[in-house]
Structure 1
Amino acid sequence: MPVETRTVPFRDLSTWVQVTAPEHPVPGALPLVVLHGGPGMAHDYVRNLAALADETGRTVVHYDQVGCGRSSHRPDAPADFWTPQLFVDEFQNLVEALGLERYHLLGQSWGGMLGAEIAVRRPAGLASLAICNSPASMPLWVAGANALRAQLPDEVRDALDRHEADGTVDDPEYLDATRVFYERHVCRVVPAPQDFVDTERQMEAEPTVYHTMNGVNEFFVTGTLKDWTVVDRLGDVAVPTLVVAGEFDEATPEAWAPFVERIPNARSRVFADASHCTHLEQPEAFRAVVAAFLAEHEAVDPAVAVPSPS
């Protein structure tokens, strides 16, 4: 597949972009923009979604949000620099720079939260939204994570509690305990796929955004997003929405249910025996579900469906 990389100026920063074009474009197939998670985890762990280019005949756009990966970093920026609005503005700047008049949007984890933040603003050109493995609020996320954490073996919970209380969350025993949670609820492929490892390494090398907005790890949320919610704004989403989750996802059903309950024309799909990185655990099945959803919503008139590409 033809792949082009470039940087797009954004304020006094730059956004790194990868555009994957299909070998055989399907007429009417709109481009798909992919939002990675974290915040601050870079695009590498979702790069296998580039396969949708040839599988559906559409262009697929990945980018590293500012603060991580190959885009501009700002390790000395104050905490209030890193806000959802910053990333909404970056996205809109990217869409305009690429000249995307109509497009689909898929966000994974934090990317789904960001996708919801974008969709409630009803941007021109947005044709559909896929929210994958994401909570509608961080308090709901934390409540779900605590429920999953309570199911861990006693010695694992003990290590987590003790090191968090002592402030020694960089202790190897604590990191080993977090790995138990991750292998149950974040990515059930062991050893972890290289794409996931690459993203983790980038975040660990420069964790400003993740530590500022989220905190130490996936279930010990102390960052600026700890009170974030989009629940009361979901009625403003005006495009068809697909909500994807895994059976063992750290984004629990209670955390993503508001998307389905409050977004008009929303539907959900839960993948059995999968967790937070459903797209890595069951890549072909995940892409097939996304491809079918996108194909339904290509037409300018949402009431007019377009047949799935063969």
Structure 2
Amino acid sequence: MSIPSTEGEAIYDVPGTGKTCKTWFKVYGDLKSNVRPCVLLHGGPGMAHNYLLSMIDLTTIYGIPVVFYDQLGCGRSTLLPEKRGDTSFWTPELFLNELENLIKHLGITTYDVFGNSWGGMLGGQYALRRPLGLTRLIVANSPTDMHTWITETNKLRNELPAEVQEIIAKHEADGTTDSEEYEAAIFVFYKRHVCRVDPMPIPVLDTFDVLKQDDTVYTTMNGPSEFCVVGGLKDWVITPHVHDISVPTMLINGAYDEATDEVVTPWFKELKHVKWVSFAKSSHMPHWEERERFMRVVSGFLKG
């Protein structure tokens, strides 16, 4: 039996852009069924939805409708390269408002949210708005505090082979982080702490290709790499507010994750209704690295 899917764009009115902005989305499953849909928030910022495509399993195996979308500035949504470097424009609030706009456009009134990495940060902030209809939240591989994230990712960086560390340090010092040599060195880190599947799944590689085509959002908000965070998010923190999240929440990370246990612990300490699942064979993408167990765990929580 084929799974119904719907693809479209939601108009998103963004002041200061001088153009009509659109959020691309694709829904798998029936939003009018009696099963709550799950809206999927991708990472980056600016990494696009592709690497989350294994989450289609939630629909094909467990019957949960899922909503993929590309956040503004990446993938199939409106690109704004002219806003590169503008940290006053690329803010979490821009993406929170986009998410609210998309949910309104889709006409869903009861739903769950799954966020991976930056998507989990965004999901946490969204839950703090206490939106009507949000029932459950999954925060996968995400920090509550970028300073902790930077500390932990740099610990992992320091475990890379010495020659790789030297290449990374040289290009960051010289301001040549757009070089192929720097990119190759960064991928050594990615293969250890982002996705350990070898070879990497095509959808994951597709996301990296999308980033190469336009890295405006990632560079402006994050920086040149996962551990060199110099963009608008470098001081981001919601730890003091996490206790105000009221919906049941699941936390996820992997044993080899750049989102280490130290990164995830503040969520666990502060949340009222929380479950934490760690994946022993995974890093930052257990939805690929331990796909079968991941989908079983996530669907169980969403249907619980």
1:170 Cα deviation (Å)?
A: 2.7
Match for residue 24 of structure 2 among 16, 29, 33: 16
Q: 2: distance between equivalents of 1:166 and 1:279?
A: 36
What is residue 62 of structure 1 aligned with on the other side? Answer: 68
Q: Which residue of 1 aligns with 2:141?
A: 133
Give the TM-score normalised by the residue count of structure 2. Answer: 0.93
The answer for the alignment partner of 1:149 in structure 2 is: 157
The Cα shift of 1:27 comes to 6.7
* Deviation (angstroms), 1:135: 1.0
Tell me, yes or no, if structure 1 residue 119 matches structure 2 residue 121. Answer: no
Are 1:292 and 2:300 matched, yes or no?
A: yes
Cα distance in 1 for residues equivalent to 2:274 and 2:223: 30
Q: Is the 8 A contact 1:250 1:275 kept in 2?
A: yes
CA drift at 1:252: 1.1
Classify 1:116/1:198 alpha carbon distance in 2 versus 1 (closer, same or farther; 3 Å). same
AA aligned opposite 1:261: K
Counterpart of 2:297 in structure 1: which amino acid? V
Give the corresponding residue for 2:4. Answer: 2
Which residue identity is paired with 2:81?
Answer: P
| Whole-angstrom distance in 2 between the partners of 1:272 and 1:58 | 26
- 2:82 aligned counterpart, secondary structure: coil
Q: Which amino acid aligns with 1:293?
A: F
1:205 lines up with 2:192 in the alignment:
no
Secondary structure at the counterpart of residue 7 of structure 2: strand
State the AA in 2 paired with 1:44. Answer: N
Letter in 1 for 2:7: T
**TM-score for the superposition, normalised by structure 1:** 0.92
Aligned partner of 2:112 in structure 1 is 104
2:281, 2:290 within 8 Å by CA — same for their partners in 1? Answer: no
For residues 70-109 of structure 1, what are the structure 2 equivalents within 5 Å?
Answer: 70-77=76-83, 78-109=86-117
- 2:56 equivalent among 43, 50, 56: 50
The alpha carbon displacement at 1:205 in A equals: 0.3
Structure-to-structure mapping, 1:182-193, within 5 angstroms? 182-193=190-201
Distance 2:102 2:190 in 1: 32
Cα distance, 1:26 vs structure 2: 11
- Confirm or deny: 8 A CA contact 1:26 1:57 kept in the other structure: no
| 1:37 paired residue number | 43
User: Hey, what's the Cα distance between the residues in 2 that align with 1:225 and 1:133?
Assistant: 16
Code of the aligned partner of 1:85? E
The 1:94–1:83 alpha-carbon spacing in structure 2 relative to 1, beyond 3 Å, is same
C-alpha distance in structure 1 between counterparts of 2:180 and 2:207, whole Å:
20
Query: Which residue does the alignment assign to 2:287?
Result: 279
Match for 2:266 among 252, 258, 268? 258
Residues 27 and 93 of structure 1, relative CA distance in 2, 3 Å threshold: closer
* Offset at residue 73 of structure 1 (A): 1.0
Structure 1 equivalent of residue 16 of structure 2: none
Deviation at 1:125, TM superposition (A): 0.4
